[in-house]
Amino acid sequence: MIGVGIVGCNYGRAVLLPAFRTDPRCEVVAMAGTDAARTAELARAVNVARGFGDWRSLVEERAVTAVAVAVPPQLQPPIAVHALGLGKPVFVEKPLAADLAGAKAMLEAVRRNGRAAIIDFNFPELATWQRAKAMLDAGAIGRLRHVVVTWNLENQATRLRLKNWKTRGDGGGGLLGNFVCHCFHYLEWFCGPIAGLSARVFPMPDGNGEGSIALALAFASGAGGSLQMSSASLLGSGHRIEFYGEDGTLVLANPTLDYFRGFKLLHARRGDAALQPVHVEDMLGDESADARIIPVSRLVRRFIDAFESGDAASPSFAEGYRVQCLIEAARGAHASGRWTEVPPDREIRT
């Protein structure tokens, strides 16, 4: 039985804990937070044997043989590097770190120690997304011309005017770290490497964090793209990805407030009068359950597989480092007001 320790009592308790409990090969034996008494109480409430007030005690606990990390980006590198140095596989949240230096330290730790490591980019685990990927790869729209991403919502952090890593651009957060990092990952998964971009980040009118972002993208394939994202859109239009090819169009669209539950897939070939639905069932559990748990449980399964086999797991830290390069490129493009080239193999040349 693999003993799992979870660092972080918010997402870690709400999503990672139930996701790891879906795999009978492991047991969550410990949780760590910043307050020992509160963490011990939370651990008892969810039937976890140990609760620690600091991450180091959890990572060094003998009963913990794999570590899951769900803390703000700037806090992840020392935890992951220490766990990997002790020979313990690591499951981390996105983005890897607050900057390239932290992300590189994590990537080098994986390469040095050879342990299983995975990053929680979970949108590609949805059945609708996997069907869309298969259709694109099979030529359902012909050669890709351009892709358009729009993602407009009002998230809880913005609605409540919270000042934390999800709203601030420093510390690896803000729109790029909290939302657009997902987009960078899935766009390269769908369309191949991004070769260049421009970016403009717009602050909230009251100065309390970032409100929206607009990017222009160029892919190494020659296709173009645009990405517009806002976390300050009351009754926003949701999350939509439109792929336009020489011979057709494919659309993933979710107008709901749920990040995962609600995606529909639409397709049309040249000559069709309108987009037609492609039936796909995303089995995300009961409507009252957190829709993030099922996609994350699929990543957990691959993580445990890699733990047992010694093989690499995906999404890997190399993919996480690549996204960190794109985040840095976007922040640089915003600061300079200039188009920024991004080497497609940046993550390999480290």
pLDDT tens digits for 202-241? 998 777 788 999 999 999 999 999 999 999 999 999 999 9
CA distance to 37, 83, 87, 190, 239, per residue, from 62 (Å): 21, 12, 12, 40, 43
pLDDT of residue 281: 87
**Residues 212, 230 contacting (CB under 8 angstroms):** yes
Distance CA 315, CA 137 (A): 19
User: Which of 130-139, 188-197, 281-290 has the least mean pLDDT?
Assistant: 281-290
The per-residue DSSP string of 113-156 comes to: H---EEE---GGGSHHHHHHHHHHHTTTT-SEEEEEEEEE-B-H
pLDDT of residue 225: 98
Q: Which two tokens stand for residue 59?
A: 């990572």
pLDDT band at 347, cuts 50/70/90? low
CA dihedral sign, ordered 330, 336, 338, 341: negative
**Residue 22 DSSP class:** T
Query: What does pTM read for this prediction?
Result: 0.95
67-94: average pLDDT:
97
- For residue 243, the cross-strand partners are 147, 250
pLDDT band at 349, cuts 50/70/90? very low
Q: Chain-wide mean pLDDT for the chain? A: 94
**Residues 29, 101 contacting (CB under 8 angstroms):** no
One CATH from 3.30.360.10, 3.10.129.10, 3.40.50.720, 3.40.50.300 for 125-284+325-341: 3.30.360.10
How far does CA 222 lie from the centroid of its chain?
Answer: 25
pLDDT tens digit sequence for 88-111? 999 999 999 999 999 999 999 999
pLDDT tens digit sequence for 9-57? 999 999 999 999 999 999 999 999 999 999 999 999 999 999 999 999 9
pLDDT band at 346, cuts 50/70/90? low
122: left (phi over 0), alpha (psi -120 to 50) or beta: alpha
Supply the Cα-derived Rg of the chain in whole angstroms: 20
pLDDT of residue 15: 97
What are the structural domain ranges in the chain?
Answer: 2-122+293-316, 125-284+325-341
pLDDT band at 186, cuts 50/70/90? very high
CATH architecture, range 2-122+293-316:
3-Layer(aba) Sandwich (3.40)
- What's the chain's length in residues? 350
- Whether omega for the bond prior to residue 315 falls within 30 degrees of 0, making it cis, is yes
pLDDT value at 8 more than 70: yes
Name residue, tokens 């107008």.
255
